[in-house]
Chain A
Amino acid sequence: MRWVKIGTLDDIPRRGARCVATPRGRIAVFRTNEDQVFATVDRCPHKGGPLSQGIVHGTSVTCPLHNLVISLETGRAQGADEGEIRTIPAKVDGDEVFIAAEAATSWAA
């Protein structure tokens, strides 16, 4: 897998997220309380809300529009809600953060 560097761990607030702009749309990159990093498309499966703007807790994020809770590990809606988003491989090397390169070109296709 080819990786593209998007920034450092310190750029993302703990229990927070940042966006990465791509020609295909936004990717949300999350950092948990334990410094794990996850990336998903920045669109809630429910009504397209920007998940990067939600509250991050455990390894989940709550969508700011209608409070769907999405697992960052699986991309699936939790609890009684249904829906799934695409997750994107992400990794931390040293203090640098990478996402899978092909995601930037192909995820939305």
Chain B
Amino acid sequence: MTPSEIAPAQSRSSPGTHEPQRLVIVGNGMAPGRMLEHLFERAPGRFQVTIFNAEPRVNYDRIMLSPVLSGEKEYEEIIIHGDGWYIKNGIVLYKGHKIVGIDREAKTVKSNHGVIARYDKLVIATGSQPFILPVPGNTLPGVLTYRDLDDVNAMLLAAQSTATAVVIGGGLLGLEAAAGLKARGMDVTVIHLMPTLMERQLDPAAGYLLQKAVEARGIKVITKAETKAIVGNGKVEGVELADGRIVPATLVVMAAGIRPNAAIAKEAELKVDRGIVVDDSMRSSDPDIFAIGECAEVSGHVYGLVAPLYEMARVAASRLAGDDAASFIHSDTPTKLKVTGIDLFSLGDFADGDDREEIVLRDASAGVYRRLILKDNRIIGTVLFGETADGAWFSDLKKRDVDISTMRDTLIFGQSYQGGPPLDPMAAVAALPDDAEICGCNGVCKGKITAAIASKKLTSLDDVRSHTKASASCGSCTGLVEQLLKLSLGDAYNPAAVQPICPCTTLGHDDVRRLIRAKRLKTIPQVMQELEWKSACGCAKCRPALNYYLVCEWPGDYADDYQSRFINERVHANIQKDGTYSIVPRIWGGVTSAAELRAIADVVDKFSIPTVKVTGGQRIDMLGVKKEDLPAVWEDLGKAGFVSGHAYAKGIRTVKTCVGSEWCRFGTQDSTRLGVRVERFMWGSWTPAKVKMGVSGCPRNCAEATCKDVGVICVESGYEIHFAGAAGLDIKGTEVLGLVKTEDEALEVIVALVQMYREQGRYLERIYKWAKRIGIDEIRRQILDDLDKRTAYYTRFIYSQQFAQVDPWSERVSGKDKHEFKPLAEVGLVQAAE
């Protein structure tokens, strides 16, 4: 069903309340999302909500686009409201519908796909548009803006194929874009009109330090540079500056500012100045039409940071809910740059002036700069660079208009130096008053967080985020929130959300993987150096995990570190209690032949292998082989066509099959053929933990596919794909991913699913645990519903297979790792006695 086929839901009347009013919202960004959360809390059932979103998607955290661009986060991680939220709240969401007209007489809006919706109240939240420099060449292919997920995707696509990028604009957005593109491997130049970067938020000294820090990351910066034209023949080739210089570029990102997107309001003859003019109740010149977010203008101000936009959302929701007291009050919002490794904080007014004094602290070698601007012994502006932990405290002093004369001598050093024991961050947080703001994005103060922890018995960061929103947007106050949890709960606070991999690090599995990707770390020593490992060369827990993450992240690039693998994967056999080994040759899909069985029998005789056993995965296990004999055993097996069965691997193990339609009178599809095909396609791949699969030819399920990591039940209409089963320490039936029609599609879905698990699963985490953590619906959405995603996973798997499908047994028969299979020396009694 396409959105345009959905009729707006009928007004539902519930007993004892009025008919719901029709609330129509134009735009689906962060401000209207937040407004609806407030509204549903304050006045549940009062409105039947319809949303038109020009972007074809749900509400996501736009502030976090920069981490998506740099690879530190995935789009899925920044979704605020998933599809389920809209369904739960009875919202009709038209994705990809742009509103083209508002009829204020008839009280209707009309979308570009012809949908007309009536409203009682209308909220315009169309956000802003990037400012496109009016220079020649600005429409050439290769010129992009930085505004939404489509822009990010376009940049990522460009980063794959082109090498040099120019970002026009050295403000917050431009620098984040530059850092992101650099992290993706591009050669990046930032062109900035003014003499110093971020001149609206930083004074020249901090702007200079910022430029140094940006340049230290390998990004070129040209200041005082006016863009004259974008040059190129049919596509972007460079940027021409006013002084005649041409900066070569195959990608140009315009980040020279934003303009409120008020066109639709203007057309409807609402009062529009820079933005849609609203009063402090967020009402436009038409009392039934509200405007919130970046498109709105209140008392001459337009806003681009999230905190005031959320404040607008709160006010609009209160007014819609019938609270006539709520009104919007202007306040300064701190600015923070979201570039990993660059800390800056800026708040308020920092221009020089006769009635102003300043206190400055510089520590050049540590790259620290602090400047406080004072007026009448009160802080009116703060600029911090390099070390920003005191930002919250300075911000609080400014907000409360505190007279600082008594602590003036030590003020610049921060809160820890104001008497009492210094440098204990816990003490600093404990000392903050209850109304001190902790989360700037969401305007959450300390008292609200501690009260929520106490009254709702919250125990984790995620709890606090979901109940108070603190640290749920840009995340830069996460540390403060964790300290509040620790203060409130004492030792009972166990930050389980970030269970470290092992005692060698404070980072959890997900963080380590994210940082490996973002910082492009490609060896274990590099990971340990960059992520500040606490031990010299790790331990038996973290080293195999890191080795897997690097193998998975950089196929073809990373040199597998065998000394960081468990013995079984190092010698490609399974160690037994007496130090001998067992080996399992691959028997594709469990189908064998007389020749194969004969070869196995010969090997068993020749090497006096004590035990031969049939395994649960339809293979033959030979146990008790001496380590020194392994290469010779493999040589004989290799001659019969056998390769390693990887029975020792955190990798693809077996695909168990039944005989299916080829023999069985109940078989619906050729399950054996599919099983063999899957196994031949996927063998050799390393995974977070072992992956065992099964294909059954009918629902009688003789291959026991419904307790496997991945299973297939063939039915008349196709192939039912199962996953996330377990039959070991835990027993769990599989979940159904979905039904596909063809064998080709079954293979593609299985491969994509396993690749998703390879990329997201924590080391030693089986599929069923990973699936529980990620959510079955989310996995289904990415693998079954989103064909682009599926294809992308599938393609990445195929790429990594070209390096993985090398038979380790034949490699060792040819002499690889010889040292593993023979003693270093034999010392006899005679030698020792000499």
Residues of A with Cβ closer than 8 Å to B? 4, 6-7, 11-16, 18-23, 26, 29, 32-34, 47-50, 53-58, 60, 62, 64-65, 67, 69, 99, 101-102, 104-105
Contact = CB atoms under 8 A, between A and B. Distances in A.
A50 B627 CA distance: 12
Nearest to B525: A33
A55 B570 CA distance: 10
Contact of A6 (B565, B566, B827): B827
Contact of A49 (B565, B579, B825, B827): B579
Contact of B564 (A7, A12, A55, A58): A55
B833 A20 contact: no
B536 A33 contact: yes
The 6 closest A-B pairs by CB, nearest first: A62-B540, A18-B824, A104-B832, A6-B825, A55-B540, A53-B567
Given A53-B579, A57-B535, A65-B575, A21 B563 contact: no
17 contacts: A6-B825, A11-B819, A15-B537, A18-B823, A19-B823, A22-B826, A23-B829, A54-B567, A55-B565, A58-B536, A58-B539, A64-B567, A64-B568, A64-B575, A65-B575, A65-B577, A101-B832
B766 to A, nearest CB: 19
B244 interface: no
Contact of A62 (B539, B565, B826, B832): B539
Contact of B579 (A15, A22, A50, A105): A50
A56 B575 CA distance: 17
A33 to B, nearest CB: 4
Nearest to A97: B824
Interface residues of B, number: 32
Contacts of A47: 577
A13 to B, nearest CB: 6
Nearest to A8: B824
Interface in B810-834: 819, 823-829, 831-834
Given A15-B537, A22-B828, A49-B577, 8 more contacts: A4-B827, A7-B824, A21-B825, A57-B539, A64-B566, A101-B832, A101-B833, A104-B832
Contacts of B568: 64
B563 A14 contact: yes
A79 to B, nearest CB: 10
A23 B563 contact: no
B824 A55 contact: no
Contacts of B536: 33-34, 58
B823 A20 contact: yes
B543 interface: yes
Nearest to A20: B825
Nearest to B538: A57
A11 B535 contact: no
Contacts of B828: 22-23, 104
B496 to A, nearest CB: 22
Contacts of B829: 23, 104-105
Contact of A20 (B566, B567, B579, B826): B826
A13 B819 contact: yes
Contacts of B579: 48-50, 53
Contacts of A20: 823-827
B833 A105 contact: yes
B544 interface: yes
Nearest to A13: B563
Interface of B: 535-540, 543-544, 562-568, 571, 575, 577-579, 819, 823-829, 831-834
Nearest to B576: A65
A54 B372 CA distance: 57
Contact of A7 (B567, B825, B834): B825
Contacts of A29: 824
A19 B628 CA distance: 12
Contacts of B831: 4, 101, 104
Contacts of B834: 4, 101
A16 B537 contact: no
B449 to A, nearest CB: 37
Contacts of A50: 575, 579
Contacts of A34: 536
B537 A58 contact: yes
A37 to B, nearest CB: 11
Contacts of B826: 20-22
Nearest to B825: A6
Nearest to A105: B832
Contacts of A13: 562-563, 819
Contacts of B563: 13-16, 55-56
Nearest to A10: B819
A54 B535 contact: no
A14 B824 CA distance: 14
Nearest to A49: B579
- Among the interface residues B536, B544, B568, B579, which one has the most CB atoms of the partner chain A within 10 A? B579
Nearest to B578: A48
Contacts of A21: 823, 825-827
A6 B834 CA distance: 14
Nearest to A11: B824
B648 to A, nearest CB: 12
- Among the interface residues B536, B575, B823, which one has the most CB atoms of the partner chain A within 10 A? B823
A60 B503 CA distance: 15
Nearest to B817: A13
Nearest to A16: B563
Contacts of A12: 819, 824
A10 to B, nearest CB: 10
Nearest to B827: A104
B56 to A, nearest CB: 49
A5 B577 CA distance: 31
Given A6-B824, A21-B823, A21-B825, A57 B577 contact: no
Nearest to A66: B577
Contacts of A57: 535, 537-540, 543
A78 B544 CA distance: 20
